[in-house]
Structure 1
Amino acid sequence: MDTKLIKQFGAKIGSYRIRTERQKKRLRYKDFDKQLLELDFRLDELYEKKRDLGWEPLTPPFQRGWKRFFVLKEDVATDKQADFFEQLLKKINTTDYSWRKDFNIKKRKRGRKVYLAKEQHLQAPGERDFKKHFSPQEQLFFYEQWRTQYGYRSKHFVFSEPWRFSLVVQPNMIDRKRVTDPELESEMEQIEQYLGRRCYYRRLEKIKNGSLGYRYYWYYPKAKEVPLLKKKSVSEWLNEIKHEQIED
């Protein structure tokens, strides 16, 4: 409590709980942070409602490029273990999309633009997913491999018999579309514009996580080694020179 108010109105004024300017300013910040959290919570609710709207058929369907994925080879599909490898393929299959049917990509080689074949591999699950989603019999067809990604080394499991599968190219047909709600999307756009134009996403990240989560300090370069001359002060170097002259 301010001493001037106590001198002016007496000691009883302390029982009225009159807030100081600093307390009022702090309460305004807290109230504003609560409003930001309410907007963020409302935005999450709207996104969830948008996902729950579902899909509706598109008539007529249209083609948008091509897609490529793995299937069982003919000799494997007629084998006794066809069902086993079919279920295994569902867990490690990958799908790639391209505007070109041959899936070639343009690259510059010796100053000229050339088209090269694009590679596609099966999934290599991590250690946690591998133990959780693959049976002991399926785990026998994988081998361990350490990979470095974003500066971290992690263990992955690679399928040891990829010759059992072959790539198939099919037209990428679009036959459905999401159900839209104009009022819902309008409210989402208003909230996103309010938070984005005024840069309130940074404040929200700090309120929820206590720090700015997008800063990755391990990407900073390591400190360079200090040269030998900079490790000692000028006075230390002068003293060493004097001792050397005396000894000579």
Structure 2
Amino acid sequence: MDIHDLPYRLKSARRKKRLVKDAFDKKLIELDKQRWKLRCQIRELPPIPLEKPYQSGYIRYFILRSDIARSDKAEFYQNLLNKINVKWWHHDKSFKKKKRRKGKYLYSEKEQKLREFDPEEFHSAKLNLSDAEKRCFYLKEIWDARRQCWKPTYAFTEQWRFVLVIRPHIIYTAKQIDEVLEQQLSAINKFIDWNNHWPRIRKLKDQTNNRWDWDFYEFPKYINEFKNKPKYTSKEAYLDH
């Protein structure tokens, strides 16, 4: 059958370029999906037990106080501690950080606190806090230096029930390495990095590149009192509206 007998339409030069670009975009999306699958496969590889475990620094975390551990509510507070505990690693047992100030080196210790949650995470099903556990928290506002605004945060009320302990950090297992998966992942990363395709992939995935999600928010220091007041002064007020 001759193509002239059909309602055949030749592609214009512009359409041909568009098809080539669309095909390349589909290739980038497929490479990104393949990269993600390879990373998941590498992450899910079972660890290898070591014949001779070794120590790698120290770890500091919270445990129940001795009198709380012997009380009737020991199981309740232990389950709660498993959700809000914070573990820090340090190469030195003192857990002091070296800091230069006025030409001198000083060693300062950073205060370690329990986990604090924003309202969305606090009420999420992933955290899975019971009503009795939620009553152990109080709502406070902390200053967010990055966004230059106050944000609500839920913090544990009775932190005195837990004490900090420092224990040696012992390594018992090693990460398993699959050379085939590593080579495939390295080849994809090299192709994307060397050709600078990350901005295009972010755009195809509708991810922000150089954009801030708080476009509707105005910094307090930039607010002019003589102008009209902003409609929304925080992200929470915008969401409630």
TM over 0.5: yes
1:77 counterpart = 2:74: no
CA distance in 2, matches of 1:33, 1:22: 17
CA distance in 2, matches of 1:212, 1:130: 26
Which of the two has greater helix per residue?
1
TM normalised by structure 1 equals 0.77
Aligned partner of 1:4 in structure 2 is none
1:27 counterpart = 2:19: yes
Aligned partner of 1:137 in structure 2 is 132
Residue pair 2:48, 2:174 contacting (<8 A) in 1 also:
yes
The unaligned stretches of length 5 or more in structure 1 are 1-11, 226-248
Aligned partner of 1:203 in structure 2 is 200
Q: Sequence identity of aligned pairs in percent?
A: 32
* 1:215 counterpart SS class: coil
Change (3 A) 1:155 1:217: closer
CA distance in 1, matches of 2:133, 2:213: 39
* Bigger CA radius of gyration: 1
CA distance in 2, matches of 1:162, 1:190: 49
Q: How does 1:41-120 map to 2 (within 5 A)?
A: 41-120=33-112
Residues 61-92 of structure 1 show CA distances to partners (whole Å, capped at 9, x for unaligned) of 11111110001111111122111111111111
The unaligned stretches of length 5 or more in structure 2 are 224-241
CA distance in 2, matches of 1:140, 1:158: 11
Q: CA deviation at 1:212?
A: 4.2
Residues 146-184 of structure 1 show CA distances to partners (whole Å, capped at 9, x for unaligned) of 223331543211111111111100111111122221011
Specify the code of the residue in structure 2 equivalent to 1:58. L
CA distance in 1, matches of 2:112, 2:167: 15
* 2:190 counterpart SS class: helix
1:128 counterpart = 2:135: no
Residue pair 2:65, 2:163 contacting (<8 A) in 1 also:
yes
What is the aligned residue count?
212
Q: CA deviation at 1:214?
A: 4.1
Specify the code of the residue in structure 2 equivalent to 1:16. Y
CA distance in 2, matches of 1:89, 1:214: 38
Residue pair 2:199, 2:209 contacting (<8 A) in 1 also:
no
CA distance in 2, matches of 1:39, 1:48: 14
Change (3 A) 1:136 1:15: closer
1:147 counterpart = 2:121: no
CA distance in 2, matches of 1:14, 1:24: 21
TM normalised by structure 2 equals 0.80
Q: CA deviation at 1:218?
A: 5.3
